[in-house]
Every structure is written in structure tokens, then in C-alpha cells.
Amino acid sequence: MYRKTRREKHKITGVTIFLLSAALLFCMAGCGRKEDASDEAESTLSQDNPPEHIVTIGFSQIGSESDWRMASTKSVQEAFAAHEGFELIYNDGQQKQENQIKAIREFIDQDVDYILLDPCVETGWDSALLEAKEAGIPVIVYDREVVVSDNSLYTAWIGSDFYLEGKKACTWLREYLQAIGYYGDVNIVDIQGTFGASAQIGRSRALDEAVSENSRWHLIGQETGDFTTSKGREVMEEMLIQHGGNINVVYCENDNEAYGAIEAITKAGYKIGSDFAAHEMLILSFDSTSEGLRLTKEGKIAVNTECSPLYGPRLVRMIEQMEAGEKPEFRTYIEEEQFSAFTGIGSLRIDGDSYFVTRVTDELLDEREY
């Protein structure tokens, strides 16, 4: 079910232009306009090869709330800009679903060939996606997921396994506490992502399960930081007022929240670390952005679980596939790593699979694309 209507329109337009131009050339020749054979040959030649069909993609991006988001937008924009036959129409949803739904409807009115959607939250998309389907416009969802009543409302999804990301972070924490010989109580606060976003749902679920499986782990605070530095700082300040130095672990659901939490902890006079008796606090984070990894190398973030934003080239390939009439995989997960400055944990075993933990070095920081 791919866009033919627009291409048919182009074909009709192309033929019309050719006939009109041929008629115009014929009149001009009769009106004594001197044009040599090469010109006529050339103009005929150019009429035989109308410009290649430009594939238009309406891109509904969530917003610009985090370093990760900016890297994601850059990756998509650069990948499509590097491809001659594509025109990307970007819309910044400013982290509001109503803005993204409005953008989808505008793209339908503009009769784009494809819609690319990173959905701020998982639910509430059925009607907008049905309108796109009825207009014959394929929708590709990437990064976060949609939960809809009928999966034929979108063509494909490519993204992260957020639940696995959370399990990696919690498994690392369990291994780390064992490695440092700490078997006491662990008071954890969770600065969640945007409520209802796939990344928040998966990462929070993994933590909730880990807390229920570890009798000494206590989840003493859970509040959305909306994936931003400012909200992360604000939530951490509130949690410090409530719990003070009784907080042992801060589970930040993205790097920007971690930046804000570290600022708040330091400003309140506490130290980052694992000497819980001295009221030090351990920071866990997600995304593995360049700033997040710099803080990880310094030991400010104990473990950083990667969530790659580099979807651009994959999405270009997916649309090229569809343009060639091929059907893309309906669901594709991308591979992701995990980073720490602590060298005592080289890998983790989760549900029978092994995952490496990579030590952050200057060389690694230099190589990172985001």
C-alpha cells in the first residue's frame, strides 16, 4: 500500500508539460524564432527526461527537549538532505501530542508521499493515523512506539528496546553493589521520562520489577522529569527536600535529567558516589550522549545505558525500499551498548544473553557521533 497517487499525478503533469512545450516550440519555430538543431534536440531531450520524482516526507518530531532529541533530528535531517530525491518537511511538536497530530493532518493536506513520526506518547494516534491511511500515505514510526487498535495504521517501526535498557541498568546496579561488597538497604529515586512515552514506560517498568525482586531495594520517590535538564533539577531538589541524604541511588531516565540531578545534589552539599554511609549518591542514566559519557568517564554517572538517536540512514534505506516496492520489516530493534568508568563489570547476563559494558576512554569520546 504505497503512494502511487502522487506519482501518477506527476506522470500526468510531466506529459502535459511535454505537450504544451512541444506546442510552444512549434509556434515559436513558426514565429521565426531562430533555434538551432542542438537547441531543439536539447529541449526535446530535456522534455524526454522530466525531473526525477521528488519524494516528500513529512517529519513529525517530538521537540527539542534533550541532547538526544537534537542528535536524532540532526541524524534524520542530514541523512535525507544527502539524498537528492528526497524532500523532508520538518515539524517541531514542542513535546505536545496535539501539535504532532496537527502536523500529521497538515502533511496529509500537503499530499506528502510518506509521514515519519516519533510519537511523544504511545496512545491517542488512531484517528490521525487512520486519516493518513485513508489518504494512502504510509506512516513510518521510529524511536518511541505507538499503541493503536489496528497495526495496519502504520507501515513499520524501528526503535530501541527500552525495557531491555532498563534491565541492563538495574542488572548493572545489582552487580556493582555486590562488587563493592554492599548488601544493605538501597533507597532509590526514579526521575522518570515524559509520562506515557515508550522510553519512560520501559525504563520505569524495569526498575519497578528490579525493586520488587530485591528485598533490600526501596523505591522512595518517582516523578517525571520530562527528559529535560530543568525539570530533572527541579524534581531532584524536591526529592532532596523530602528524603535528604537517605537517597542512595538516582535513576535518571535520560542524560539531561542526570545533568539537572547532579547540579541539585551538588548544590545541596551532597557528594556523588557509593559511600552511602556518608550520604553519597549514585547516578544511573540513559542515552550515552557525548556530555553524558563525559560525566560517566568522570564517575559522576556510574553507568550510562545507550539509546542511539542515529536513525537517519536507516530511515532513508527504509523509504528507498518502499519506493522500490519492497515491504520493510514491521518491527526493527536497534543494537545498543552500555558504558561505565568502573572496570569491575565487563559484561552482564540478562535472560540468557550477554551484554558488554564498555569502559569510557578519551578515544571513545573522540569517536562518538553524538
Q: Per rule CB under 6 A, is residue 259 in the interface with ligand GZL? A: no
What is the bridge-based pairing of β-strands 303-306 and 353-356?
unpaired
Q: Per rule CB under 6 A, is residue 65 in the interface with ligand GZL? A: yes
Q: Which of 3, 56, 69, 345 binds ligand GZL (CB under 6 A)?
A: 69
Q: Per rule CB under 6 A, is residue 199 in the interface with ligand GZL? A: yes
Shortest gap between Cβ of 249 and ligand GZL (angstroms)? 19
Going residue by residue from 145 to 184, which x/- string records binding to ligand GZL, judged by CB under 6 A?
A: ---------------x------------------------
Going residue by residue from 77 to 116, which x/- string records binding to ligand GZL, judged by CB under 6 A?
A: ----------------------------------------
CA 256/CA 18 separation, integer angstroms: 55
Q: Per rule CB under 6 A, is residue 68 in the interface with ligand GZL? A: yes
CA 253/CA 256 separation, integer angstroms: 9
Residue placing its CB nearer to ligand GZL in the complex, 138 or 193: 193
125: alpha, beta or left? (left if phi > 0; alpha if psi -120 to 50): alpha
Burial of 241 by CB count in 10 Å (0-12 exposed, 13-18 middle, 19+ buried)? exposed
Q: Per rule CB under 6 A, is residue 288 in the interface with ligand GZL? A: no
Binding residues for ligand GZL, rule CB under 6 A, total 13
Burial of 239 by CB count in 10 Å (0-12 exposed, 13-18 middle, 19+ buried)? buried
94: alpha, beta or left? (left if phi > 0; alpha if psi -120 to 50): left
Q: Pick the stretch among 34-42, 61-69, 97-105, 125-133 that binds ligand GZL (CB under 6 A).
A: 61-69
CA 25/CA 33 separation, integer angstroms: 9
Q: Which residues bind ligand GZL (CB under 6 A)?
A: 65-66, 68-69, 143-144, 160, 199, 227, 254, 286-287, 307
